Chain A
Amino acid sequence: MGGLLLMLLLVTLPALAADLPSLPKPKGEACIAANDVMRRDHPDMLKHQRDDTMRLGIRGGKASLKDCVACHSTADTAGKPVPINAEGQFCQSCHAYAAVKPDCFECHATTPTVKEASR
């Protein structure tokens, strides 16, 4: 029993030693689901919806990467949007902590549309 506890401690220690990610404050009031659900299930939500949107043309779904970026991205002091996958930003800080590399932003925009009307 003592050995098991010691082993558990040894396994969890490195994780405890790392600083928890500090996330920039989102713009919106509440996320589309509870934090623990989002942390675990956001890849599945996005993956499910991307096919609905892209292949079937269903718009206005709940889990949208565009909306994630719009809500969670921040602007620098000059008001210029900071890429969401930049150091210390929402996606990057947590993914760096979890040591998982997201591929989303090789294609997807990392900043929201600044001026919707200028399109």
Chain B
Amino acid sequence: MTELSRRHLILASGAILLVSPAQAGQPASAAKRWGLLIDTRKCATDCTVCVDACKSEMGLSGHDRPLTDAQYIRKVDVKDPATGNAHSLPVMCQHCAKPACVDVCPTGASMKRADGIVLVDRHICIGCRYCMMACPYKARSFAHEEQTGQKPYLPRGKGTVEGCTLCVHRIDDGRLPACVEACAAKAKGAMLFGDLKDPTSEIAKRVAAEATTRIRADLGMEPGVRYQGI
């Protein structure tokens, strides 16, 4: 048993799927569909563990301007006015099967990888921000200023749009997204990551057996992120 799988076995105590690293030299496969299942019943209103983990993993430093600072994941508080039932849910790029951001992109920079991860190819992004307008989840941010201190695995620069990559660098490495790992380690483990197309995976079993919701499912974009308890 490799060190990697031992590490994941430890994490699996929170019922988290084991993932295997992408094979070197092999492209991402359409046989996989990466997804997230978020149990909002375990997600506390004042908890920002996932948001903080994302910022440090991705090297996102803000300018203390909440409206325009880059954020890949944010906490949204919702309340049913009729009953007073309140929830807090983390919202990131929903990695839609039919992403509106990809449809509107004039250059092809906004793209969906074969395994369902929606990314921005910043080599050809012209910064028009059509995708930001098109996304109903407000998932994307625009880098307004020159950036410094980027992480080697996450290049980001002025004049391009960016968003949650589902930690594609970690997934290809056989690791879990930073938010999922942090939530399992420091919070209540409300997030489950895995391959929705693999019937033996924990996430596929859970979505098959339990009631789950996709936010703004009415738009028909078939997000890869599902929620429970909302």
Q: Which residues of A contact B (CB under 8 A)?
A: 50-52, 54-61, 66, 69-70, 106-109, 112-113, 119
Contacts and interface: CB of A to CB of B under 8 A. Distances in A.
A52 B172 CA distance: 14
Contacts of B158: 106
B11 interface: no
Given A50-B123, A107-B156, 19 more contacts: A52-B27, A54-B119, A56-B114, A57-B172, A58-B27, A59-B22, A59-B24, A59-B25, A61-B25, A66-B152, A69-B152, A107-B155, A107-B157, A108-B150, A109-B152, A109-B155, A112-B152, A113-B153, A119-B57
Contact of A107 (B57, B114, B150): B150
A41 to B, nearest CB: 18
B52 interface: no
A65 B85 CA distance: 50
A43 B48 CA distance: 41
A108 B154 CA distance: 7
A58 B151 contact: no
A50 B124 CA distance: 11
11 contacts: A56-B27, A58-B25, A58-B26, A58-B27, A69-B152, A107-B122, A107-B150, A107-B160, A109-B150, A113-B152, A119-B57
Nearest to B146: A106
B42 to A, nearest CB: 25
Contact of B151 (A50, A51, A70, A109): A109
Contacts of A70: 152
A45 to B, nearest CB: 15
A78 to B, nearest CB: 18
B147 to A, nearest CB: 7
B123 A57 contact: no
A113 B153 CA distance: 9
Nearest to B169: A59
Contacts of B22: 57, 59
B166 to A, nearest CB: 12
A90 B157 CA distance: 21
A57 B57 CA distance: 20
Nearest to A57: B28
A60 B24 contact: yes
Contacts of A56: 27-28, 113-114
A3 B115 CA distance: 64
Contacts of B172: 57, 59
A58 B113 CA distance: 11
Interface in B3-42: 22, 24-28
B174 to A, nearest CB: 11
A66 B154 CA distance: 10
A56 B147 CA distance: 26
* Leading 7 A-B pairs by shortest Cβ distance: A57-B28, A60-B24, A107-B157, A107-B155, A56-B27, A109-B152, A108-B155
B155 A57 contact: no
Given A56-B114, A58-B27, A59-B24, A107 B147 contact: yes
B69 interface: no
Contacts of B28: 56-57
Contacts of B157: 106-107
